[in-house]
Structure 1
Amino acid sequence: MIDLGVLLKIGELAEVCHVSKRTVDYYTKMGLLQCERSETNYRFYGEDAIDDIKFIEQCKEMQMTLSQIQQRLTVKKSSQVDSEMIHSQVKQVIDKMEYLGAELKDIHESVEKLDEETQTKIKKNLSPQTVALIQSLLLYST
């Protein structure tokens, strides 16, 4: 349901979210976003659409399919929890972690072959959070 506090036209929503109007239109057609139609057939989106687009874009960065994103949005917005859907999402995350762990292991082995100065330069460009995450994934993957 649309939040009647603030309504945005498709162009306004696209601008706020830094996506194209075509992207907003596509997400709407796919059922990822909900809109209200005016008498003159303009589409209006509530403020919750901003959060939805940010969520969708984050999921896309993690190479999730539209089907997976739809499931995640459904769970996120649902007042009832579907244990099968949650189980599926957990499995997807675990699979992704295993993939990333293997990738990091390969990268780590390549970095170890570099000279110490180059290794130091690479490590300086990483945030403390990134280093902690990499270490966690490397531990997880062994």
Structure 2
Amino acid sequence: MKKFKIGELAELAGVSRRTIDYYTNLGLLKPERAESGYRYYTEDCLLLLKLIESMKNQRLTLDEIKGRIGDLTSNLQGVIGKPHGLDLQFLKQQFKLLENQMAELQPLVNNIESGQGVVATRVVLMRSMTLMQSLILYLSEVTPYL
């Protein structure tokens, strides 16, 4: 797995080194330490950083983001111990949840004024993107165990 120094990670993710330091201090990112003391960030950290930035763009607070990442991590830890690593039932449940949310919201979107419909559609899309990004992160974590 490729490892990045903080400057490389910052450039790839489009954030500042200071932001990465801040997230690391909050416990959102967990770098590996080399014998020399340098911090190295894995590709998983890059994916997680992009997920964090996406959630921030959806106006989630860092506490909310930390909670969602914690929930995702808890689900991952439960899945990794399974015989084949990948819990397809978990993925099916997440996709079904997304489908149900979209089905519930569609009539509401159809019955509101066009300007409000655009706003509602954007909110639904942002939530859907968060779920999809979480699933991508989930898959990237469990795939090595297959």
TM range (shorter): 0.5 to 0.7
Residue of structure 2 equivalent to 1:55: 51
Given the alignment, which residue of 26, 33, 36 partners 1:37? 33
Count of equivalent residues:
92
Residue of structure 1 equivalent to 2:10: 14
CA positional deviation for 1:14 = 0.5
> For each residue in 1:60-107, what CA deviation from the matched residue of structure 2 results, as whole angstroms up to 9, or x when unmatched?
1111111110111112222349xxxxxxxx9xxx9xxxxxx9xxx799
- Amino acid in the other structure paired with 1:39: E
Max radius of gyration: which structure? 1
CA distance in 1, matches of 2:31, 2:66: 16
Q: Percent identity?
A: 42
CA distance in 2, matches of 1:31, 1:106: 43
Residue of structure 1 equivalent to 2:84: none
Unmatched 5+ stretches in structure 1:
82-89, 95-100, 110-129, 138-142
CA distance in 1, matches of 2:57, 2:119: 20
CA distance in 1, matches of 2:21, 2:29: 9
Any idea what SS the aligned residue of 1:44 has?
strand
Q: TM-score, normalised by structure 2?
A: 0.53
CA distance in 2, matches of 1:37, 1:106: 54
Q: TM-score, normalised by structure 1?
A: 0.54
RMSD of aligned alpha carbons:
3.3
Residue of structure 2 equivalent to 1:133: 121
Which one has a larger percent helix, Structure 1 or Structure 2? 2
CA distance in 2, matches of 1:47, 1:108: 40
Residue of structure 1 equivalent to 2:143: none
- Amino acid in the other structure paired with 1:108: G
Any idea what SS the aligned residue of 1:45 has?
strand
